[in-house]
Amino acid sequence: MKTMNCKQLGGACDKEFHANTFEEMAELSKAHGMEIFQQQDKDHLEAMNKIQELMKEPKAMAEWFEGKKKEFEALPED
Ligand SMILES: [Zn+2]
C-alpha cells in the first residue's frame, strides 16, 4: 500500500488515502472530494476549481495526471 494525502492529489487538507494502485488512489481522492463538496468547504472548492480549469485542457489534465502518477510510483510502500 502507498499513502498520499488530499493536498498531494490536488486537494486542500491532510487527509490520507491508502491504495495499491494510482487508479485506486484517484478514486479515493475523488470520493473524498465529492463528500467535502457537499459540505461546501471553501478550500476544497477552490482546489476543485483549479482541477476543473485543468480539465478544459485535456493535454494539461493528462500531464497533471501523469505527474501525480509518477509521484505515486516514486513513493515507498507502507
Ligand atoms: Zn481534503
Across the chain, which has 78 residues, the per-10-residue mean pLDDT values are: 96 97 96 92 94 94 96 96
12 φψ region: left (φ > 0), alpha (ψ -120 to 50), beta (else): alpha
Dihedral in degrees, nearest 10, Cα atoms 37, 48, 46, 1: 90
What is the pLDDT, as a whole number, of residue 12?
96
Nearest Cα neighbor of 19 from 7, 27, 31, 9 is: 27
- Residues with CB under 5 Å of ion ligand 1 are 6, 11, 13, 15
Supply the pTM of this predicted model: 0.89
* CA 32 / ligand 1 centre spacing (Å): 7
* CA 60 / ligand 1 centre spacing (Å): 22
What is the pLDDT, as a whole number, of residue 67?
96
